[in-house]
Structure 1
Amino acid sequence: MRRLVFIPGPGIGHLVSTVEIAKQLAARDHQLFITVLIMKLPFDQLFTNTDASISRRINFINLPEAHVDTRNTGPSSFFKTFVENHKTHVRAAVLESSTQSESNQARLAGLVVDMFCTTMIDVANEFGVPSYVFFTSNAGCLAFLLYLQKLRDEHGTDAAQLMDSEAELAIPSFVNSLPAHVLPGVLLDKEGATTFLNHAKRFRETKGILVNSFSELESHALHSLSDDKTPPVYPVGPLLNLESDDFHVSTDKARQKYDILRWLDDQPSLSVVFLCFGSMGSFGEAQVKEMACALEYGGFRFLWSLRKV
């Protein structure tokens, strides 16, 4: 018997997909036990669903809170410090899990760390077990970050320097070239780019990368990741919770869900644009209006999951 320890990134979107991959792995191997360590953001509720219906071989541990001074701290610095400050708690939880594993003959087999928790690779090294990265986004994004990291570390080109550039980037994971000035804002910010690309650099230290995608969707991007400097990439998606939750929501919400699905069924194939920016993605009024105008001018059917703030 073996035990894997998962360390999801803070945020419900990362936690939900981690639970789904844990459920799939446990269902495939009845000799596998899984522990999920949960870091609570100051503004989030604790995840307390330890229902045995998920799996009797998956257990959840809410880690003690780690203090982070938020004064004069940008988002990238905050998350980096937040995760780093949990390392002691993670180390203690892994040690306890390892001790329990010895008593029930389920040896510690490895750590699966979130794409934003690469500092926890150090903990895996301390325990002498392999580490894997769980990349909750798609293969194109993974390859894109690895490309920019290689550009920085091997060619001395910083993404932040491209902010006002008219250059076209030939990114291996993208079918078409990309104008440098449309790079995501976080990668054009010195601090943000450093944080993201340092994570990407550490991806290369692991034994493998699990990515929330599948080959039929991203064959080009996945093929671009098959070079000898990248750890094996395993497409494990799409990670979806298809169990109906209609019994746990109000009648109005259930009806709204039904209306949306019925509308989607009535649309032509490949005709709907879906916009969703994750559990923590929010925008100011001006940006929301700009996106709305773009959708209107584009003339495409769309479904937009717009988060309230």
Structure 2
Amino acid sequence: MSKRQWLKIDVDAVLRERLPRYYRFIPKFLISWLKREICQDEMNGMLSRADGLEGAQFCRSVLDYLHVSYDIKGESHMPPPDDHKVTYVCNHPLGGLDGMALIEMITAHHGIEPYFVVNDLLMAIEPLRKVFVPVNTHGRQSRRGTAGIEDAFASDRPVIVFPAGLVSRKGKGGRIADLRWRKSFVNLSVKYRRDIIPMYFDGRNSGTFYEMARTRERLGLKFNFEMIRLPREVMLSRGKKYTIHVGKRIPVSRLQGGRRADDEALAVRKIVYNLKKDI
């Protein structure tokens, strides 16, 4: 009996499902372009290799396929392996491999898979559903979604958060940095008495990705068209080695949350972006 095909990218099937009334009007050359842009064939080859794997094992398979590696600076700042109830907070420069590297790294350290708060669209990645905790970044959170996040923070498993919720963009002066961080990780860490472990992932996407984002912003378009580029960015990372900087533990006793949460989230963000200099 063959193993179950966990995940396969099929642009035609997605368009038929999402746009049933308009699919027949979409030019074939546009569909072909989209398949090439997201590297459909190569992505499916990578996913086929990871068929049947879940969680950290799936992440390791993807990293190995792409010959992507990482080293850890400030590893002495990691909590004891049996101290699971912490919140890992990190910048989000890549849009895919950074998250997979963190899942693999934290699982290897603690011996238990973390929960990872992510955009609800990523729940389509079935091998990571037991790790992912969905959040609606484009509207109001459902009661079920809110309960899922609360359950994750109440658990005894590590929690990973990208507080920006979106991939880093290029700002003034050409600096690559996250957009505004959301404060929820502060309030939830305070509520469930979780210390915070700040991390900085040293990486960036291609210039094309950032230029697409800038062009969209100049045109006043709200839909993040540059996200279509992210699968190609994954493939462009082949053979790269990244560095993950780990900072000193931030005791939850130093945080208040509530009215102070925005300021405290900003303070943690500054700590994260200073890690590359300090370690």
Common fold, TM-score beyond 0.5?
no
Larger radius of gyration: 1
Q: Larger RCO: Structure 1 or Structure 2 (Cα < 8 Å, ≥ 6 residues apart)?
A: 2
TM-score, normalized by length of structure 1?
0.30
